[in-house]
């Protein structure tokens, strides 16, 4: 009995939604079709082929609406799955594409970057939210692959900076004197998830990281 009531409710809801979207539902189409048969000229009845075309059009309209509804339901389910996946990252250490250095006010922030070739010299530049460079440091020679720099949260004068999100860039030089491109990464422990937008944003303190930018996840 419960199943019958649910099916009837779903059918009624679908018909109401179809009417709101298209202005008519299948019942309205059928009423028009019956009225057309009722008031046709008996001496010049409706062409059977034309009637079949109208019935076919009615079926196509309903199938098209049902397909769109199914796709919307599928998209909703997919978004719910993505949101649940984002929530599972809370408490995990992640590495993502980006160049944000999150400083908590006391613990050194580890800045990670990758070089395609060895560098004879490299320098890191750290900027604040206004774009002002507050710290530069020589890194010396760096190997090809992943490299790190532990930033103590201090500026060039040695003053401890407030907690917050900073950005960094790497300037590396190869043995032949050419500039090497460096891929930078945002790292840290996820402490929250923002689901208010179209895509989930993971947070590391005051830093936001898109779910699609994550490269690796640790425990």
Q: Kindly state the DSSP code that residue 160 receives in the 8-state scheme.
A: B
Same domain, 105 and 77: no
pLDDT at 197: 76
For 146, residues 6+ apart whose C-beta sits below 8 A from its C-beta are: 112, 113, 114
Query: Which stretch of DSSP H or E encloses residue 87?
Result: helix 48-87
- Res 85: pLDDT: 78
* pTM (2 d.p.): 0.62
Q: Which domain-ending residue is among 87, 118, 151?
A: 87
**Domain at 203, CATH number:** 2.60.40.4070
Q: How is residue 125 written in tokens? A: 């530049």
Residues 60 and 107 in one domain: no
* Backbone Cα Rg of the chain: 31
Q: Which of 49, 66, 87 is the last residue of a domain?
A: 87
Confidence at residue 35, expressed as pLDDT on a 0 to 100 scale: 73
Domain endpoint, select from 23, 54, 87? 87
Do residues 75 and 109 share a domain? no
Contact 102, 109 (CB under 8 A): yes
Same domain, 173 and 135: yes
Residue 75 φ then ψ, to 5° = -65, -40
Do residues 51 and 111 share a domain? Answer: no
Determine the length of the chain: 219
Please calculate the CA angle 134-164-189 and round it to the nearest 5 degrees.
Answer: 125
Residue 31: what pLDDT? 75
Contacts of 122 (CB under 8 A, 6+ apart): 115, 138, 139, 140, 141, 142, 147, 170, 171, 172, 173, 182
The answer on 206 and 111 residing in a single domain is yes
76 and 103 inside one domain: no
pLDDT mean by block of 10 residues, the chain; 219 residues: 44 58 63 70 59 63 68 65 77 94 92 96 96 96 96 97 96 95 94 84 88 85
Say if residue 47 is in the same domain as residue 137.
no
> What's the total number of domains in the chain?
2
**Domain that includes residue 18, residue range:** 2-87
């Amino acid at each position: 009995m419960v199943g019958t009531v649910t099916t009837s409710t779903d059918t009624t809801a679908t018909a109401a939604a179809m009417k709101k979207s298209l202005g008519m539902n299948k019942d309205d189409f059928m009423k028009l079709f019956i009225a057309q048969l009722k008031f046709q000229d008996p001496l010049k009845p409706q062409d059977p082929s034309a009637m079949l075309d109208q019935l076919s059009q009615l079926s196509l309209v309903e199938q098209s609406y049902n397909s769109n509804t199914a796709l919307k339901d599928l998209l909703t389910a997919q978004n719910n799955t993505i949101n649940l996946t984002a929530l599972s990252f809370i408490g995990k250490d992640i590495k993502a594409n980006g160049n944000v250095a999150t400083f908590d006010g006391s613990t050194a922030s580890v800045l990670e970057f990758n070089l395609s070739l060895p560098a004879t010299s490299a320098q890191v530049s750290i900027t604040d939210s206004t774009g002002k460079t507050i710290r530069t440091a020589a890194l010396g020679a760096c190997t090809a692959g992943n490299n790190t720099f532990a930033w103590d949260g201090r500026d060039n004068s040695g003053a401890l900076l407030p907690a917050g999100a900073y950005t960094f860039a790497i300037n590396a030089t190869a043995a032949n004197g050419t500039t090497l491109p460096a891929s930078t990464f945002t790292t840290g422990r996820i402490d929250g998830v923002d689901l208010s937008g179209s895509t989930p944003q993971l947070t590391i303190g005051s830093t936001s990281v898109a779910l699609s930018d994550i490269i690796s996840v640790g425990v």
